[in-house]
Chains A and B, each alone.
Chain A
Amino acid sequence: MMKTIAQSKTPEGKGMSEGVHLPDKTGHFGCFGGRFVPETIMPALDQLEKAYLEAKEDPSFHAELEYYLREYVGRPSTLYYAERLTKKLGGAKIYLKREDLNHTGAHKINNTIGQVLLALRMGKKRIIAETGAGQHGVATATAAAMFGIECEVYMGEEDIRRQALNVFRMKLLGAKVIPVTSGSRTLKDATNEALRDWMSSVRNTHYIIGSVVGPHPYPMMVRDFQLVIGKEVRKQILEKEQRLPDYLIACVGGGSNSMGLFHPFLEDKEVKMIGVEAGGLGTEIGQHASTLTSGKIGILHGSASYVLQDEDGQTLPVHSISAGLDYPGVGPEHSYLRDIGRAEYVSITDDEAVNAFQECARLEGIIPALEAAHAIAYTMKFAPKISKDKIIVVCLSGSGDKDSFEVAEKLGYKI
């Protein structure tokens, strides 16, 4: 595990074709990424980048991170052969990477533990975060509680309604949840508000972004903290199957669980990667959040990437039943992988995701997060079309406990 982060730093010039060593020094992945933020926070990004690069070289930082990931988060998470799902679909062999088994029930904590450790190294006294589904908020509040640091989480009012359970969990963990009432009252607006807070508090506050989005160094740093997913998968699948998988499938909101899974396999040409976006209710504007499959290059929240915007660069409304995917942007590295053709991106509708949510529960005894249900839904369409000797690894990014109310409502149950 100590090598998880250190290994991503390899001599320049090797394997550049697939961009394994990106971002470049200025934080760009080809024409994506960069830093498009107000001057007030530019110095903080410089400071953060410097602190992170130092930590990355420091064995004691890795030892500490590894310790908490093992003892507190419960890593490594298992790579589980989904036998009944595989048989039912009648095609490729399906493995589920069980990020739902992590403490707090999702992959988000891999990143928040790393960033809180970094914040402490930088001497920051306060943590802020944005959250959509509430998973990142809970993971941040958890790490903050465990390390005894003050924490405030911005959350859109609409998401507060959809994810009441997570709001309560954050409060139990001692965090302050600040409702955001501007714009669409979802993840995008919570991110704006967190950035505005940071504009005022940057001298003593660290902002923990929850995905591989935002200005440099966030896309790189959050990715590095999530690489643990793919590194473990690599080791586990080699033990179980003595070979690498043929396909990696993961849902893409901002893109952190998928990037964590994909990145360690970028140089393995035989491994194909499929990112699954939220297709929502349909293809009309405002009905979906399929940034990579139907967006255009633009600037949002500090970086250049695919984004859903109108012709003036105004952010378009988005929809997904899954609060964690309900975001009009995506991490710049995904845009890069899309453009060089290294990864493919598809979308899954609300209904397909809800169906997969139920199928996974019935067939495997695992209730997946609605976000992860998108990845499973695509796998259900895809696996039957490919032969039985192929292997698919799906990232089960989180547990669906948080979504039970939302799905019950959708299915007409009263709880």
Chain B
Amino acid sequence: MNRIDRKFQELQARKKPAFIPFITAGDPDLQTTKDLILEFEKRGADIIELGIPFSDPIADGPVIQASYYRALMRGTKVAHVLDMVSEVRRRSEIPIVSMVSYSTVFKKGYQVFIENALVAGLDGLTIPDLPVEENHDLFEMAKKNDFKIVCFIAPTTTDHRMAIIAENAQGFLYYISVVGITGVRDALPEDIVQNIRKLKQMTKIPVAVGFGVSTSDHAKMIGTVADGVIVGSAIMREIEKHAKDPAEKLIRYVGEFVGQMISGAKG
């Protein structure tokens, strides 16, 4: 069974939401990324969303854009990211989904990309710029290999599209909390609860919420209505803040921040 499915089964039995931290691979460097993944696991993170840096991420706000830029400037390549994932696999079974632009997947060829991802030990992908309609073969191949393609639902998604997406979704559904891009926000929109309830009526697969989840209060609120809480920009901002600190210090500070968010989410 895929690590993601196993994890959600386990959490559902314990009636706890999943906490899913996002980090950019290669910011400040891949060694630190690896150590952060292991640190987050120690602190109780359930699934890792690992961002493969991309030059033109249109769904991302300034914080993640800047982290991608730093990672690319350091020469981070897809092959290096996958090597790092294999290293994590020697020590950990934490589920890892990679967020990657379809520009990258397409360039490598989706078959090759998925094969390499499986070998490295990734459990799935989120491809924010790939609507289901554009590549059915990719979804088929993933299904055959029990590799999860996590799909997005936005507040703007129509009922018609919601049904199509729910039908194709694997692993979990990623509900985008805001009409907008990733980023740190003070408040979350009010329609979240209602939209998630609606979504949960349409599908049995777990629903995780991301985009703008910035404080442990946000995490707590989301944790009560959804099956998973995704935090990205707020974590990347902490990493950015401690970029000049020695690695152990950065890992400790960011680890503590993630620990607080986890306590929030899990109540």
Please list the residues of chain A having a beta carbon within 8 angstroms of any beta carbon in chain B: 26, 34-44, 46, 182-183, 188-189, 192, 195-196, 199-200, 202-203, 298-302, 304, 309, 311-315
Q: Which residues of A contact B69 (CB under 8 A)?
A: 182-183
Q: Which residues of A contact B158 (CB under 8 A)?
A: 43, 46
A309 & B133 in contact (Cβ 8 Å cutoff): no
CA A193 to CA B190, docked complex, whole Å: 26
- B43 CB to nearest chain A CB (Å): 30
Q: Mark B53-90, 1 if CB is under 8 A from A, else 0.
A: 01111111110010001001000011000000000000
Seed contacts A182-B65, A299-B103, A313-B107; 12 additional CB < 8 Å A-B pairs: A39-B128, A39-B151, A39-B156, A39-B165, A42-B154, A42-B156, A182-B62, A183-B55, A199-B59, A199-B181, A298-B106, A313-B105
Q: Among the listed A35, A192, A202, A314, which residue makes an inter-chain contact with B134, where contact means beta carbons less than 8 Å apart? A: A35
Q: Is B12 on the interface with A (CB-CB < 8 A)?
A: no
Q: Among the listed B72, B151, B181, which residue makes an inter-chain contact with A196, where contact means beta carbons less than 8 Å apart? A: B181
Closest 5 CB pairs of A and B: A313-B107, A200-B180, A313-B103, A313-B104, A40-B154
A299 & B154 in contact (Cβ 8 Å cutoff): no
Given contacts A36-B102, A40-B154, A315-B56, contact A196 B107 (CB under 8 A): no
Q: Which residues of A contact B65 (CB under 8 A)?
A: 182
Q: Which residues of A contact B133 (CB under 8 A)?
A: 26, 35
CA A309 to CA B105, docked complex, whole Å: 13
Q: Mark B161-190, 1 if CB is under 8 A from A, else 0.
A: 100010000000000101111000000000
Q: Is B35 on the interface with A (CB-CB < 8 A)?
A: no
A35 & B131 in contact (Cβ 8 Å cutoff): yes
Q: Which residues of B contact A300 (CB under 8 A)?
A: 56, 103
A314 & B72 in contact (Cβ 8 Å cutoff): yes
Name 18 A/B residue pairs within 8 A (Cβ), A-sorted.
Answer: A37-B131, A38-B59, A38-B128, A38-B154, A39-B161, A39-B176, A40-B152, A41-B156, A43-B158, A182-B69, A192-B56, A199-B181, A200-B179, A299-B106, A312-B108, A313-B106, A313-B107, A315-B103
Q: Among the listed B58, B151, B176, B180, which residue makes an inter-chain contact with A37, where contact means beta carbons less than 8 Å apart? A: B58
Q: Which residues of A contact B215 (CB under 8 A)?
A: none
Q: Among the listed A40, A301, A309, which residue makes an inter-chain contact with B176, where contact means beta carbons less than 8 Å apart? A: A40
CA A309 to CA B106, docked complex, whole Å: 11
A309 & B107 in contact (Cβ 8 Å cutoff): yes
Q: Which residues of A contact B107 (CB under 8 A)?
A: 298-299, 309, 311-313
Q: Among the listed A38, A189, A192, A302, which residue makes an inter-chain contact with B152, where contact means beta carbons less than 8 Å apart? A: A38
Indicate the size class of the contact surface on chain B.
Answer: 35 or more
Q: Which residues of A contact B161 (CB under 8 A)?
A: 39, 42-43
Q: Which residues of B contact A43 (CB under 8 A)?
A: 154, 156-158, 161
Q: Which residues of B contact A298 (CB under 8 A)?
A: 103, 106-107
B58 & A304 in contact (Cβ 8 Å cutoff): no
CA A79 to CA B157, docked complex, whole Å: 47
Q: Which residues of A contact B103 (CB under 8 A)?
A: 36, 298-300, 309, 313-315
- B199 CB to nearest chain A CB (Å): 13
CA A301 to CA B54, docked complex, whole Å: 13
CA A299 to CA B138, docked complex, whole Å: 16
Given contacts A39-B154, A42-B157, contact A314 B131 (CB under 8 A): no
A199 & B165 in contact (Cβ 8 Å cutoff): no
CA A171 to CA B178, docked complex, whole Å: 31
Q: Which residues of A contact B165 (CB under 8 A)?
A: 39
CA A200 to CA B176, docked complex, whole Å: 12
- A38's nearest neighbour on chain B, judged by CB, is B59
Q: Is B129 on the interface with A (CB-CB < 8 A)?
A: yes
Most B CB contacts (10 A, CB to CB) among A26, A39, A41 go to A39
B61 & A196 in contact (Cβ 8 Å cutoff): yes
B157 & A199 in contact (Cβ 8 Å cutoff): no
- A365 CB to nearest chain B CB (Å): 42
CA A189 to CA B62, docked complex, whole Å: 13
CA A40 to CA B161, docked complex, whole Å: 11
- A311's nearest neighbour on chain B, judged by CB, is B107
Q: Among the listed B56, B57, B153, which residue makes an inter-chain contact with A39, where contact means beta carbons less than 8 Å apart? A: B153
Q: Is B11 on the interface with A (CB-CB < 8 A)?
A: no
CA A270 to CA B226, docked complex, whole Å: 62
CA A81 to CA B179, docked complex, whole Å: 52
B106 & A304 in contact (Cβ 8 Å cutoff): yes
Most A CB contacts (10 A, CB to CB) among B62, B65, B77, B156 go to B156
B77 & A312 in contact (Cβ 8 Å cutoff): yes
Q: Which residues of A contact B153 (CB under 8 A)?
A: 39
Q: Is B130 on the interface with A (CB-CB < 8 A)?
A: yes
- A37's nearest neighbour on chain B, judged by CB, is B129
B72 & A36 in contact (Cβ 8 Å cutoff): no
A183 & B181 in contact (Cβ 8 Å cutoff): no
Q: Which residues of B contact A301 (CB under 8 A)?
A: 56, 58
CA A202 to CA B155, docked complex, whole Å: 11
CA A183 to CA B157, docked complex, whole Å: 30
- B26 CB to nearest chain A CB (Å): 12
- B41 CB to nearest chain A CB (Å): 27
Q: Among the listed A44, A182, A188, A313, which residue makes an inter-chain contact with B101, where contact means beta carbons less than 8 Å apart? A: A313
A42 & B106 in contact (Cβ 8 Å cutoff): no
- B69 CB to nearest chain A CB (Å): 8
A38 & B58 in contact (Cβ 8 Å cutoff): yes
B131 & A36 in contact (Cβ 8 Å cutoff): yes
Q: Which residues of A contact B179 (CB under 8 A)?
A: 40, 199-200, 202-203
B106 & A312 in contact (Cβ 8 Å cutoff): no
